[in-house]
Amino acid sequence: MSRIGKLPITIPAGVTLSVKDNVVTVKGPKGELTQKVDPNITVEVEGNECKLTCANDEKQNRAYHGLFRSLINNMVVGVSEGYKKTLELVGVGFRASHEGQVLELSLGFTHPIYFVLPKEIKVETKSERNKNPLIMLESADKQLIGQVCAKIRSLREPEPYKGKGVKFPDEYIRRKAGKTVVAATK
């Protein structure tokens, strides 16, 4: 049995979890999420707890046991509290602005990049003088927000020489030494 899969999921007040035909639906104040569960995994809701059980002890089923427990727990946390991610633009002239669900990025290329965000994600941009521009994303779906952050970051990944690019604020970038000029001796 999976160590993670054995842990019960506590359902906070204001969140409802229902199971029908191996599809788990979680509703809460921040939205509604659904997840299809493998037929070998049984989801049982008892009061304010949800428990997952495994049909047998095969390796694949043990892996699914922990996986689906984590996915359902992420859904419960997402619809009750939500997830927030912040991206920082490091570089001279790098800018970010948004209008509705369209994020306009100026990342040192000859043209601006227009990135259309899914409707499930709320975006906010912040530009202060003498500080790097920030992009703040908020959503109930942890998987979706992580995927969108990775896609935005891939538009201009931080490079190791000057550290320019799109990065997370707490991310450490290993720096490399640049070229060194060797003086010619005669």
Residue 52 maps to which CATH number?
3.90.930.12
**In a shared domain, residues 36 and 87:** no
Answer yes or no: is pLDDT of 77 > 90.
yes
**In a shared domain, residues 17 and 36:** yes
Beta bridge partner(s), residue 115: 103
Please tell me the pTM assigned to this model: 0.87
Q: What is the pLDDT of residue 28?
A: 93
CB atoms within 10 A of CB 108: 13
pLDDT tens digits, 16-50: 999 999 999 999 999 999 999 999 999 999 989 99
Answer yes or no: is pLDDT of 184 > 70.
no
Q: What is the pLDDT of residue 152?
A: 95
C-alpha dihedral sign at 134, 139, 142, 145: negative
**In a shared domain, residues 88 and 162:** yes
Cβ contacts of residue 165 below 8 Å, gap of 6+? 90, 91, 107, 153, 156, 157, 158, 159
pLDDT tens digits, 85-112: 999 999 999 999 999 999 999 999 999 9
Cβ contacts of residue 44 below 8 Å, gap of 6+? 19, 50, 51, 52, 53
- Would 160 be classed as within a structural domain? yes
- Would 182 be classed as within a structural domain? no
Answer yes or no: is pLDDT of 10 > 70.
yes
Pick the range with the lowest mean pLDDT from 132-141, 161-170, 173-182: 173-182
**In a shared domain, residues 43 and 9:** yes
pLDDT band at 178, cuts 50/70/90? confident
**In a shared domain, residues 21 and 87:** no
Tell me the residue range of the domain where 25 lies: 3-80
The total domain count for the chain is: 2
pLDDT band at 4, cuts 50/70/90? confident
**In a shared domain, residues 50 and 24:** yes
pLDDT band at 164, cuts 50/70/90? very high
**In a shared domain, residues 121 and 71:** no
From 159, 150, 146, 151, select the one nearest 90 (Cα to Cα): 159
**In a shared domain, residues 98 and 150:** yes
Give the CA-trace dihedral at 59, 64, 67, 69, to 10 degrees: -120
